[in-house]
Structure 1
Amino acid sequence: MMRLAVVVVLAGLCAFPVYGQKKKKRSQYFTKQSYQYPLFKWTGEYSRHGFQFNFGPTYLLTNGETPERDLSTSPDTNATYTHNPSGRLGGFIEVGMVHIAKKRRKVIHYFDWGIGYKHFAGTEQTRLMIHRFGETNEVKGNGVFDMGYLYGRFNVHNVWQINRDVFLDNALGFNVDYRLTGSVPGDNSRYDGAVLPQTQRFQQDFVAQLNYELGVGFKIRDGFFIIPSVHTPILGIYEWTGGNPSLMWYSSRYQPLLLKVKFVWLFKKKNNACPPVYGNPDDEKRNQQYMNGQ
């Protein structure tokens, strides 16, 4: 799970743009690459602020079956066990806002935030081998669970323009989640067959994490973008377990993965705004440079 998060982050960091000398054209857009392809114009008809809505499936990744472990038993009995976790499909939905940087920046081009609800689900299979008086008996158990979280998040984004209508979108952020629905910690009523409460640990209701997101954006028209992306936590802050971002349930860990489709609508500028008044040509030139992020 941690390996996957590291791979996703490294892949995204490799996509971050490298900036060279400053471009002298008056028109400035989201990124240094391909200025002739406007993703957003500070002097255009759209505001820097807008509405965002995203949704998609969720899934819990696992490391697969755990190594066989010994279980303390009576002197004449020896037992070993393994746990085999797996994820199930869930879903999420979110609404929020997008805010583009006031001026052209080298790293952070926009940030967004949202509130939403996400649902995770998974299973765990237990295999217990009991060795007694030269005989071995195998007992199996299977548990299912689900967790529903109300959450809020904040992310900062770096955009790398590929061409007129396509761009890479990297984001680092912070999310806080609170479990509202789903399975109850310590409740094994949904565990059929063999269950080992002594090996179990359940996630607390409150979760705080750092997250990473990598997407490919498409400019449908001026002021409207669609950004499919992959989102996963990369550092667990609360509850602290050495920074591991995965969730604990039953006797296993589960790495959340969100497959997102985000829609962004920028607001149009007000038409009744008073035009600026300049005292001299130098004032007008300085204002234009500011609006273009120079």
Structure 2
Amino acid sequence: MAELETRELEYFIGVAEELHFGRAAARLAIAQPALSKAIRRLESRLGVTLLERSSRSVTLTPAGEALLHHGRHALNAVGAAAAKARRAADQEAHLRLVIKPGGDANLLSGILAAYACQPDARQVDILFGGATDRADHIRDGRADVALLYSPFDDLTGLDHETLAVEGRVAILPPDHRLASRAEITLADLARETLPRWKGVRWTGAPEGGEGPEVTDAAEALHMIRLGRTLAILPRSLAQPPHPDLVYRPVTDAPHSELVLAWAQNDRRPLVASFVAAALDAARTA
């Protein structure tokens, strides 16, 4: 007998995200006492405490944090399995590619042209995702393939191929102390205020002052122009350069990789043909 059911995961994730039983019950359209009972039953069966409850707050335990992380992936996988089963039966299905605006390292037009030459090419629908949610488009079946940046995007549960490897640049106000240098190192940036990228757990940047939270490059550039932060970006995401800012290569920053990703073990010809065309286009770019 399975230890977890999808409905129980939905209930737990609702409470874990809201951290409030009343709000979670309203969101899930279930009575609050029934929701509380379901969570207690789940904890009893797993033999762990998932939530610390008091009269004033609800917080996640380490076990709860783990179940929230993996439970989201599990629910996405269930939804994606159903969506892919339906799409596998549709011989006229379009291929859906999710990208971040400007996040293709100028490779997309060549990839699409190469794919169009494939004998089994389908129409490609291009979806635009945010800075950190594109991988979830693959996990939940909204898209078939995605252009992602490693190590910034979470590739858990995805297969991928690298299309381009590129260096990173620091973006500075023109009056910054480092703006006159031709090159910059991570040590030079060690005491600088750098942005916190929403949804990104690791950027390879040094630990500095805690800067503003940003969700994409456009927000980061705005904060740099206001003198609130600096930023280190993959070279292609720093294009075109803003005329009021200075761009300098960071010589020892970890390289970033533009990758084409798809769901792990997705062997559909629809996907395989696009991956092959993308690799050919990237090699000749």
Q: TM-score, normalised by structure 1?
A: 0.23
Larger Rg: 1
More strand by share: 1
Q: As a proportion of its length, which structure holds more helix?
A: 2
TM-score by length of 2: 0.24
